Amino acid sequence: AQSVSQHNHHVILSEAASLELGCNYSYGGTVNLFWYVQYPGQHLQLLLKYFSGDPLVKGIKGFEAEFIKSKFSFNLRKPSVQWSDTAEYFCAVGNTGGFKTIFGAGTRLFVKA
Amino acid sequence: DVKVTQSSRYLVKRTGEKVFLECVQDMDHENMFWYRQDPGLGLRLIYFSYDVKMKEKGDIPEGYSVSREKKERFSLILESASTNQTSMYLCASSFGQGTIYGYTFGSGTRLTVV
């Protein structure tokens, strides 16, 4: 069955700490990979995406993610988090040529000032 | 910027009522989607549409139907609301074929069924 697994449901970090959120997927065929973010009280927005080429992709606000095909992983990273990064982060996978995107359960990140 | 507008931010309905959730996008996107978001479960696809009058079931279509009479509007209908349909409902749209471009989401409708 197609699925997306996010390793942590809740993460608490202090400002300036490094962040890595894990994401693994089970999906046949060629995929497009996404990270979305939902800040408190705001709508979901696209943080970054991968569909081909360089497996290390950079997104907004200093975030990056690395696609490791052999591990079916697409982990999100940020070298130094800020209080304003407090949000819920969703990993998502869509099959190339299809219409459906499957989302993980989400990781709530809280950054202490 | 693409805008996806959901008609209501909060709704409270009674069990058994027929409920309409409306979504409008303003950038001529072909594809539109309805998800529900529940804590610990992430987003689950209810229905999607890739063209006017076309609809496809998602992963949890039971108890729901949809309508897409115009390209910009995609409605979600709860035929007879039940308490287990209390949730946040998210509408999204996307451009072109496939999932390559990602989604633009609306702000969501938090529905409470009492």
Cβ distance B99 to A106 less than 8 Å, yes or no, reads no
Average pLDDT of the segment spanning A37-62: 93
Q: What percent of chain A has a predicted confidence (pLDDT) above 90?
A: 81
Sheet bearing B73-78, strands edge to edge: B4-6, B19-25, B73-78, B64-70
What is the dihedral angle through the alpha carbons of B37, B14, B78, B32, rounded to the nearest 10 degrees?
A: -40
Distance to chain A for B92, nearest Cα, Å:
10
Which of B:27-46 have CB within 8 Å of A? Answer: 31, 35, 40-45
Predicted pLDDT at A28: 77
Nearest CA in chain A to B42: A105
Predicted pLDDT at B102: 87
| Residue A31 scores a pLDDT above 80 | yes
| Whole-Å CA distances, B82 to B20, B35, B111 | 14, 17, 11
Identify which of A1-5, A16-20, B38-42, B95-99 has the greatest average pLDDT: A16-20
Q: Which residues of chain B carry a pLDDT beneath 50?
A: none
Predicted pLDDT at B1: 64
Burial group, residue A10, by CB count within 10 angstroms (0-12, 13-18, 19+): exposed
Predicted pLDDT at B77: 98
Pick the closest to residue B5 from B69, B92, B87 (CA basis): B92
Q: Contact at 8 Å (CB) between A77 and A64? A: yes
Predicted pLDDT at B2: 59
What is the dihedral angle through the alpha carbons of B59, B62, B65, B68, rounded to the nearest 10 degrees?
A: 10
Tokens of A56: 């290390």
Predicted pLDDT at A61: 93
Distance to chain A for B73, nearest Cα, Å:
18
Predicted pLDDT at B98: 66
Predicted pLDDT at A62: 95
Which of A:32-61 have CB within 8 Å of B? Answer: 32, 34, 36, 42-46, 49, 51
CA distance B65 to B19: 10
B45-75 tens-digit pLDDT: 999 999 998 999 999 999 999 999 999 999 9
The answer, for A94 touching chain B at a CB cutoff of 8 Å, is: yes
- Select from A36, A101, A106 the Cβ nearest to the Cβ of B99: A101
Residue A56 CB coordination number (10 Å): 11
Cβ distance B42 to A34 less than 8 Å, yes or no, reads no
Predicted pLDDT at B95: 87
- Dihedral sign, CA of A21, A25, A31, A34? negative
Nearest CA in chain B to A106: B42
Q: Contact at 8 Å (CB) between B1 and B102? A: no
Average pLDDT of the segment spanning A65-75: 95
Cα-atom radius of gyration of chain A, to the nearest Å? 14
Written as one string, the DSSP assignment of B42-99 is: EEEEEEEESSTT--EE-S--TTEEEEEEETTEEEEEESS--GGG-EEEEEEEE-SSSS
Cβ distance A98 to B31 less than 8 Å, yes or no, reads no
Cβ distance B103 to A46 less than 8 Å, yes or no, reads yes
Q: Contact at 8 Å (CB) between B92 and B32? A: yes
